[in-house]
Amino acid sequence: MRGYVRFIVAVMCLLAGNEQILAAGFQQNTRAADIQPTPVTGESWLNHLHRSFGDTSMGKTGRLGPPAPDSADDLARPQAEFIALPPQQFITLRGSDLYRINCQACHGDAGLGLPPEINSVINPVRATSVPLVIARMKSNGMEITPAAAAELAKQSKLALLQRLHSGGENMPPFPHLSEEEIRVLLTYLNQLAGVTPSGEQQSVVKESPLRVGEHIVKSTCHICHGATGANPSPQQLEDGAIPPLETLPDRVSEAVFIRKITLGTPIVMGTPPTPHRGRMPVFDYLTREEAADVYVYLTHYRPTQEASDAAVALLRQDPPRSDPPRASAGSVSPTVTNGADGDVARTGEDTLKATISLTAIGLFVMALLGGGLGFTLREFRRLSLEADAARMARAVSNHSHRDVADLVAR
């Protein structure tokens, strides 16, 4: 009996240690800084929608660059180079930063968008708040119970998460965002929409510079620029062609690229080639460091035609829907499993494995404790019966009928 108790105690200690190890592994897998960047793939979002750059407001929240110089010679004249930036291992991003580098190019700094093409993010976020749902219903002359408002808010949040993962009719999908990044982004969206106080401390996430570059490329640059292709000629640029991301490191230096993103530079277009102001907006809300992250990312993770062809085939098989499927009330937020972001999918798989392992351990411990309790009760019953039989035998041997009757009555 004592040996069995010692065994139970030892097993429970061992399982508790394994549970802590699994929990630590689960927390490690959910760190956004551990996500490995992947190359951008496929056609631009504008090409996917069959729209020209001049027929859309997407990606145009920035201002235009400086006017063109008087001649192409002035444009070719060397300009002051930026000083090389020191490398950074990890960068702390708040929800406002994730919004700025992923959403602001289309939705603007206030989240209002440019209706009717680009919707505001304010009302969809407010629809996830129970008090605001109740207030809005009352303002429309309709009464709603707190339980019904909570259900509506829950469905609205699921729809918002679905839109972030899968996109919509005009909005591209964001499969590169991890669950942790979306959680941090949503905390800022709640502040932007007035769901929570604006002065409340924001959640943060750790990111590598390459990961920051990936965010900007996949959320902003890829709206207009395709992943691969040949460099257009000056006349093709004049006709509206947009250079691919694949050849960017070959076209311009890092210093010129940083200047173009943050300040703007004229370009040469037409036949004969002449300087023009250029159509590309200046994203002055991006820092020099973030522009450098874009260049380094495109240098280390250069797009390839093979990966882009596979992405185009996948996108055409499953085009985004204008109305995302309605999630059931008991469902959970979707997990990122896009093939282009295998590391995010692996993170979800590791999380599932850790959850299954923890559940199995809990069930095993419960079975072990239940078996031990049953064994203990059986032992007590057996020992009690043996004691009663011994007493009965002694009473019979002593001819004590009263004792025998007492024992039988039990």
Q: What is the 3-state secondary structure (H, E, C) of 35-104?
A: CCCCCCCCCCHHHHHCCCHHHCCCCCCCEECCCCCCCHHHHHCCCCCCCCCCCCCCEEEEHHHHHHHHCH
pLDDT tens-digit readout, 263-279: 888 877 788 877 777 78
pLDDT score of 222 more than 80: yes
Alpha-carbon torsion angle 50, 55, 58, 63, nearest 10 = 150
What pLDDT score does 264 carry?
A: 85
Rounded average pLDDT over 340-368: 55
- What is the 3-class SS of 323-335, one letter each residue? CCCCCCCCCCCCC
Q: What is the DSSP letter of 219?
A: I
Look at 379 and 212; give whichever has higher pLDDT.
212
Ramachandran angles phi, psi of 283, nearest 5°: -95, 75
Instruction: Please give the angle made by the CA atoms of 392, 397 and 398, to the nearest 5 degrees.
Output: 100
What is the pLDDT of the chain when averaged over all its residues?
Answer: 74
More confident residue, 352 or 344: 352
- Long-range CB pairs of 309-314 (<8 Å, 24+ gap) are 310/41, 311/41, 311/42, 311/227, 311/340, 312/42, 312/43, 314/339
Least confident piece of the model among 7-16, 171-180, 260-269, 362-371: 7-16
pLDDT, mean of residues 315-322: 47
> Which residues pair with residue 114 across a beta bridge?
118
pLDDT in tens, 194-212: 999 877 788 899 999 999 9
Please report the pLDDT score of residue 70 as a whole number: 56
Residue 342 has pLDDT above 50, yes or no: no
Percent of the chain with pLDDT over 90: 38
pLDDT at 60: 79
pLDDT digits (tens, 9 = 90+) for 389-405: 555 555 444 544 444 33
User: What pLDDT does residue 40 have?
Assistant: 95
**Strongest mean pLDDT among 57-71, 121-135, 249-263:** 121-135
Give the pLDDT confidence score for residue 29 in this predicted structure.
35
User: pLDDT band at residue 313, thresholds of 50, 70 and 90?
Assistant: low
Distance CA 87, CA 78 (A): 26
Q: 87 versus 180: which is more confidently predicted? A: 180
Q: Answer yes or no: is pLDDT of 10 > 80.
A: no
Query: What is the structure's pLDDT at 26?
Result: 34
Q: How far apart are CA 303 and CA 306, in angstroms?
A: 9
Is the pLDDT score of 188 beyond 80?
yes
- Please indicate whether residue 254 or residue 352 has the higher confidence score (pLDDT): 254
The confidence band for 341, taking pLDDT boundaries of 50, 70 and 90, is very low
Mean pLDDT of 219-244: 91
**What mean pLDDT do residues 117-125 have?**
93
238 burial via Cβ count (<10 Å: 0-12, 13-18, 19+): middle
d(CA 350, CA 357): 10
The answer to whether the pTM exceeds 0.85 is no
133 or 345, which is more confident? 133
pLDDT over 70 at 50, yes or no: yes
CA distance 378 to 400: 30
Q: What percent of the chain has pLDDT over 70?
A: 60
Q: Please give the pLDDT value at position 4.
A: 43
